[in-house]
Structure 1
């Protein structure tokens, strides 16, 4: 890394090129959400504009949720209104994986009521994948991209924040959901996330994330910081 670039290394060229394609698609949505410029695609690595190291904390949850809702609404309006969660979607040559295939095993343990829901995407809204910049909140890290229901990536933001920094209050979570819905709702009334759906998505993310406890910044077990009673859907 230099003063103006950040280099991300990948295990192979295909993975690097996929991340570059994901970033290009997100940038093409013209959502107004800041993304780092991609300066170069090199063997096994991507060279990005360096946006600094000012990471977010719990006090930034509303701003991060708002940015996420804005880019989800843009994706649905421009592309994903024609998509279905159970089928891959091709957009300008990029094939975006469906929601079900990469989560088939987890869905056997914790089924989600997703048929017919409007489509947004999942890009891994881990709290560490947002940065403060002079132009507002920026989204970084483009390795993962799949279709997902509205609110699913918001749940990743919430659970990653709580597992990193500790328990969030119900008020903090509801304010973040409202900030998200204000922007996501621009894609239509159905393109929002209810409190019940958000709780269910958080539990699903816990099922997928629990193995990373005490790694990657996850210091707090979700069952210890969960701000609501244990849902009956937990196996």
Structure 2
């Protein structure tokens, strides 16, 4: 299981920006995983005037998208709110949640961005690097970048670009439903990320990984209080 990483304790935004610049070069943007049996949805919310973070992880069997295991953990926030550095608030608590799982998921689908980020190192990238797990970022709104209009049908997508670089994809998971925004986290190609998100979103706009993690965050499972 994942263990605490030395930069979990980082509290200074300037040093965090510098570390993010180093981490961006560690992101593996090609498929680096074998057959997947499980995928996990990862979500982080904040409570008590943003002083408490709640990390939820729901592990689903990929074949039928049924929940196999889930955990919710609450801990005090240790890093200030700084746009572009949200991972430094969220990754430490998610690592605790991952360590609480009995089974190690094959891939993480994060409620947040990966390479759709000014330094190409958003939450999904950061978590993928620290945990060592393949990861995908799935966001409900675009953080940065531009894209062309999408066709109306399920599976339609357009690349999201920033400064001429493809940093993600606007993906329509359901016909005539607003797109979601998919990006590489770690150890996966953009095309495989798109394919897996579509596989995990057979009926709704958001993938089942995100939907189940959201259900868990709303109290539909017993949280672990540390």
Q: Name whichever structure is richer in helix by fraction.
A: 1
TM tier relative to shorter chain: under 0.3
Q: Name whichever structure is richer in strand by fraction.
A: 2
Larger radius of gyration: 1
TM-score by length of 2: 0.26
